[in-house]
Amino acid sequence: MSILESGINLKKHKGKHFLTLLDYSSDEIKELLEFSLLLKKYQKEGVPHQFLAGKTLAMIFEKSSTRTRVSFEVGMTQLGGAALFLSSKDSQLGRGEPISDTAQVLSRYVDGIMIRTHGHEIIEELASFSTVPVINALTDDFHPCQAMADIMTIFEVKGTFQGVKAVYIGDGNNVAHSLLIACAKVGIDVAIATPKGYEPKQWIVNEIETICKETGAKFTLTNDPIEAVRNADVIYTDVWTSMGYEEETAKRLEDFSQFQVNKDLMTYAKGDYMFLHCLPAHRGEEVSAEVIDGKNSFIFDQAENRLHVQKAILVALMGN
């Protein structure tokens, strides 16, 4: 089967980078979601979809991972291609080779580069020197592949984006940044509640407010979790201490103590709310076990959807 037979036109995406959803229009994001749903259907029904036969993806990991590595590697296999794992210990990046050199060398060998790294400026430099698509599998500022899986899961459960209110409770980190952007782009009303001092970066807030004016979505930034959660359809949280901030653990446990997603907080949400978490989770910290393991939790559907959205992104950027 060819991509053209899917009925979805992906030509506009070919050769692009996937660094942040700020670079993608609402229509482009919805096209990728539509294709993600189709690829999921193919995979469930056993329909061959080896759109990347003969293609190779280099996967650079400077941060540890379970879901990201497995989903990208399995995704490339299902698409008929191959994935090559490179940790900082296994590559010359770990010995100080310039990012520009790594980008130009890998571009001669592979058809795409996926990287999970620290500062967002690293991936921007990599992309500026790469002649093949670069995919952001996580930086300190953004996690766009996760956000695509998040909104795909919301659509599958709610059947629409219109009239849906999604709320993020916790640290205004990379996951929060990308979730807020993704929701605003597709017209989901979005709110975020953080302790004072842990809000999303102001320039990203400004971008989200601009997007909401274009799509008609509502955006709320507050330090009150109850205010945020009122009449919410989707509740989302993440660990209170992200990778790289371990030395702040004790302070964060104290600062976030009133921001746990638990049964009491959920009484302010709609009865059919859905709970999401990007995982790994710390039960008893950011979320109680009764919520994350309850009937309203869709965390494993959400984790699975990383596979499907990433396959869609890979095909769109690297396909013929």
- Residue 136 burial (10 A CB sphere; 0-12, 13-18, 19+): buried
Give the pLDDT confidence score for residue 151 in this predicted structure.
98
Tokens standing for 104? 């130009």
CA-wise closest residue to 179 among 216, 210, 154: 154
Q: Model pTM?
A: 0.95
Query: Per residue of the chain (320 residues), what is the pLDDT tens digit?
Result: 455 455 677 888 999 999 999 999 999 999 999 999 999 999 999 999 999 999 999 999 998 888 999 999 999 999 999 999 998 776 666 567 899 999 999 999 999 999 999 999 999 999 999 999 999 999 999 999 999 999 999 999 999 999 999 999 999 999 999 999 999 999 999 999 999 999 999 999 999 999 999 999 999 999 999 999 999 999 999 999 887 778 889 999 999 999 999 999 999 999 999 999 999 999 999 999 999 999 999 999 999 999 999 999 999 999 98
Residues serving a catalytic function are 116, 143, 146, 238, 278, 306
Give the pLDDT confidence score for residue 97 in this predicted structure.
84
Give the pLDDT confidence score for residue 241 in this predicted structure.
87
Domains of the chain: 3-142+305-318 (3.40.50.1370), 145-302 (3.40.50.1370)
Give the pLDDT confidence score for residue 43 in this predicted structure.
97
Residue/partner pairs of 38-47 with CB below 8 Å, 24 or more apart: 38/6, 38/8, 39/308, 39/311, 39/312, 39/315, 40/305, 40/308, 43/78, 43/307, 43/308, 47/1
Tokens standing for 189? 């009303």
